[in-house]
Amino acid sequence: MKKSYIITLLLSCGLLGSCGDDFLSIVPETQLSSATFFTKEADFQQAVNAAYVPLRTIFNDRSWLLSEMHSDNTYYARNPAFGATEQQEDLADFALPEANGVTSNTHVLNQYRQDYLIIARTNQILSTIDKIEFSADSKNNIRGQALFLRAFAYFELARYFGKVPLHLEPVTNRSEAALPLSSEEDVYAQIIKDASEAITLLPVKSKQQAGRATSGAARTLLANVYIVQKKWAEAEKLLKEIVASNEYSLIPDYANVFSTSTGNKNNQESVFEVQFLEGSAGLNGNFLYQFMPRNILANELVTITGTTNPQPLSGEGNNIPTPDIIAAYEPNDARKDVSVGYITLSSSARQNKVYPYIKKYAKPHALHDNHGMNWPVYRYSEVLLFLAEALNEQGKAGEAATFLNQVRKRAGLGDASGDLREAIYKERRVELAFENKRWFDLVRTGRAIATITAYGNRIKANPQAYYYPEGTAPRSHAFSNIKVFYPLPADEAALSPHF
């Protein structure tokens, strides 16, 4: 009797196949797991593609807040009917809440996190790619892109924060998650190492899929790093290599420099762009909408966007060109009307209902709040201006002027006059207006504190000129915390024992 019982048990065990560890090994069917990924070339191709993805968020939602609107080029258009706008206003007003060297500002936090997302994804690639055999060309290309992106992310972090944790290997468990802050010097050393290696690994633009990092992009990035470090000769060498490559040229009409929603992407002047794609795949941008003064009615908005389904926008508009940047254009500068447009908001609380807006990206597209304009990160005109600056700082004013004047000529202007250094600075401001260069230029040239203090005083003296409706004024703590580095994000500080 007992025997038959045992047999019954064994039978049911065997029939149901359920007594071993096989029964208990259930791996996810609808998601790949790390155990099976990173085993073939296509996996690394996908991995490097994903490493570009945070750039969309950074450039659509953050960079312009932390750099352009955090300068005298743009401001917000106060809408007193709308609250919960401190996060943006604090950036434009240099009024970040700060305690113990950290800030609770969400944009600072998200910029930081998105950069580290790029770093984690590239670290994963760089640490595993050599374990898998595949063609050297492809492997070099992927490694080069990963190194470029990692250098790019650390360069952003170094410029925003100075000291940051330096992760170069993928994190595999909780104890590895937080690292101590590395010195700015060490971070820059790594950026230079990565970018230099990327230059050797990446193909030139004409040999690379349009939109991906190229050796030209890596050279520009590294030259930018050297310029920040005032290593002018090193920068000059790299920039001249770019010019000599014949991969890039200025587009004759400044109006044609910027991509449309579906075309003119990665054009002859483009060195590196963040790629957006309009449509429902979730690869689109909507920064144009964030740059609109508000409240704006559907029939007003449609004159700019041309969509089939315009919707009104409420809230507070950001990244609105200041009177300062508008005044910075010389008379007859062809770039002014391309860069700045005007819109009348019938529902504005101001007496003057006309607002400027950033026009250089305002290209018509199909659907509301969904567009495909790429964001220019490096353009050839900046290469020329970098080169002019690097030469001039080494006392080669004559050679420098030729590159500066190429850019001016395209804008319909004559040769530069007066102090060449100032002329280059001013040229950068208008040529690259609203391309997130202004704040970094002010910082690296040591002019940030003075310039912003004066700018803040102008706003406080005449708020209505800076889009405050009559009867409203800047907050009392506006321009009370003007510093060249951002404090580190509080939410990260709360999780890290190191800061």
**Residues numbered 321-360 forming contacts with another protein, rule: CB under 8 A:** 347-349
Cα separation, 403 vs 389, in Å, equals 9
In the complex with another protein, which residue's Cβ is closer, 116 or 254?
116
Pair 294, 316: CB distance under 8 Å: yes
Phi, psi of 319 (to 5 degrees): 60, 45
Using CB under 8 A, which residues numbered 76 to 95 contact another protein? 80-86, 95
Check residue 12 for interaction with another protein (CB under 8 A): yes
In the complex with another protein, which residue's Cβ is closer, 35 or 136?
35
Using CB under 8 A, which residues numbered 470 to 489 contact another protein? 471-472, 475-478, 480
Could you tell me the smallest distance in angstroms from the CB atom of residue 404 to another protein?
Answer: 31
Could you tell me the smallest distance in angstroms from the CB atom of residue 28 to another protein?
Answer: 4
In the complex with another protein, which residue's Cβ is closer, 21 or 130?
21
Cα separation, 437 vs 63, in Å, equals 10
In the complex with another protein, which residue's Cβ is closer, 118 or 407?
118
First to last CA, the chain: 71
Using CB under 8 A, which residues numbered 269 to 298 contact another protein? 275-277, 280-283, 295, 298
Figure out which of the listed residues 127, 162, 171, 306 binds another protein, where binding follows CB under 8 A. 171
Check residue 460 for interaction with another protein (CB under 8 A): no
Task: Find the angle CA(88)-CA(92)-CA(96) to the nearest 5 degrees.
Answer: 75
Check residue 52 for interaction with another protein (CB under 8 A): yes
Check residue 7 for interaction with another protein (CB under 8 A): no
Check residue 260 for interaction with another protein (CB under 8 A): no
Could you tell me the smallest distance in angstroms from the CB atom of residue 31 to another protein?
Answer: 5
Cα separation, 372 vs 366, in Å, equals 10
Using CB under 8 A, which residues numbered 128 to 157 contact another protein? none
Pair 285, 56: CB distance under 8 Å: yes
Which of these ranges, 40-48, 215-223, 232-240, 318-326, lies near another protein under the rule CB under 8 A?
40-48
In Å, how far are 102, 103, 116, 184, 221 from 165, measured between CA atoms? Answer: 15, 17, 10, 10, 21
In Å, how far are 41, 224, 249, 286 from 437, measured between CA atoms? Answer: 37, 11, 20, 20
Residue 365's SS3 state is coil
Burial of 83 (0-12, 13-18, 19+ CB in 10 A): exposed
Which of these ranges, 50-58, 403-411, 420-428, 435-443, lies near another protein under the rule CB under 8 A?
50-58
In the complex with another protein, which residue's Cβ is closer, 153 or 423?
153
Figure out which of the listed residues 7, 34, 206, 446 binds another protein, where binding follows CB under 8 A. 34
In Å, how far are 185, 399, 419 from 192, measured between CA atoms? Answer: 11, 26, 31
* DSSP at 367: B
Cα separation, 341 vs 59, in Å, equals 21
In the complex with another protein, which residue's Cβ is closer, 309 or 453?
309
# of chain residues touching another protein (CB under 8 A): 107
In the complex with another protein, which residue's Cβ is closer, 331 or 497?
497
Check residue 210 for interaction with another protein (CB under 8 A): yes
Figure out which of the listed residues 87, 311, 394, 406 binds another protein, where binding follows CB under 8 A. 311
Cα separation, 40 vs 256, in Å, equals 41
Could you tell me the smallest distance in angstroms from the CB atom of residue 283 to another protein?
Answer: 5
- Per DSSP, what are the bridge partners of residue 272? 378
In the complex with another protein, which residue's Cβ is closer, 324 or 492?
492
Could you tell me the smallest distance in angstroms from the CB atom of residue 426 to another protein?
Answer: 34
Task: Find the angle CA(439)-CA(442)-CA(446) to the nearest 5 degrees.
Answer: 145
Could you tell me the smallest distance in angstroms from the CB atom of residue 223 to another protein?
Answer: 24
